[in-house]
Chain A
């Protein structure tokens, strides 16, 4: 029941974040969505995810506010309003149709398929020695995922440094 309330709150906050005019209010509404997601993870018995989502959301908000402060945009009335809205709603309708077809094949809520995980849960402590099964999965059974994630983060840092560098100047202001 509390999950329904949290999800409806998240949908309302997302609509506010998309539709409001002021950019700073919009960023704060995204923060509301993120913290409600953190609470939902806590209800769904995932404390690791709740901690990570909380701190990542704070850092994400700081970066977004840093980027959007003092940069506001006047309201623009565009020409092809009807066509744009209709094509967007068409995309959403197609997406919802296919997802409705796919939802019938999924397991019901609360009764997951636990074929692979059964082995992890039985042998997790004896094989790795870690009592936190999530850590055992991401760092021992499936450590390739974590290696790929580290690579993606490294590439992202390199990309940001390359984009924000002042071009054509030898001496930066960083010293």
Chain B
């Protein structure tokens, strides 16, 4: 993240953003991964991940954020999330029906438990986060290109 004084906000905002944006991303991933043990889950964690990129874009201008995640990459990642969720659902046919929980359950209160639920949470988190970031990217980039 170079310091380009023409784009984005002031130096204070840029310094604080450089310190906090990684923590926000990490907190979003934590919320996604612990969705079956504590409050949270794929929806909330995905929105937090999207907010970290929005934070980056607001502080540094749109060029740096676009250089990290371009619009094509965002579209591809969202499709990957949707296909992952659907394929997990189709995997249930191995056991007999749609959305059947075929993986071993594990012991409760462990991180690796509850069968397909953490995988579904990860898929939904990717899909929601990248989808909302794509919405914001479209609102910012395409509106200004007159």
Contacts and interface: CB of A to CB of B under 8 A. Distances in A.
- Do A and B touch each other in the complex, judged by CB within 8 A? yes
| Main SS class of interface, B | helix
Nearest to A141: B99
A62 B44 contact: no
Interface in A136-151: 136, 138-140, 143-144, 146-147, 150
A58 interface: yes
Size band of the B side of the interface?
35 or more
Interface string B90-115: 00000000010100011111000111
B135 A157 contact: yes
Interface stretch (A77-85, A95-103, A111-119, A164-172): A164-172
B124 interface: yes
A56 B47 contact: yes
Interface size class of A (residues with CB under 8 A): 35 or more
Nearest to B28: A55
Contacts of B134: 157, 161
A55 B47 contact: yes
A58 B28 CA distance: 15
Interface of B: 31, 35-41, 43-44, 47-48, 50-51, 54, 58, 66, 70-71, 78, 82, 85-86, 89, 99, 101, 105-109, 113-117, 120-121, 124, 127-128, 131-132, 134-136, 138-145
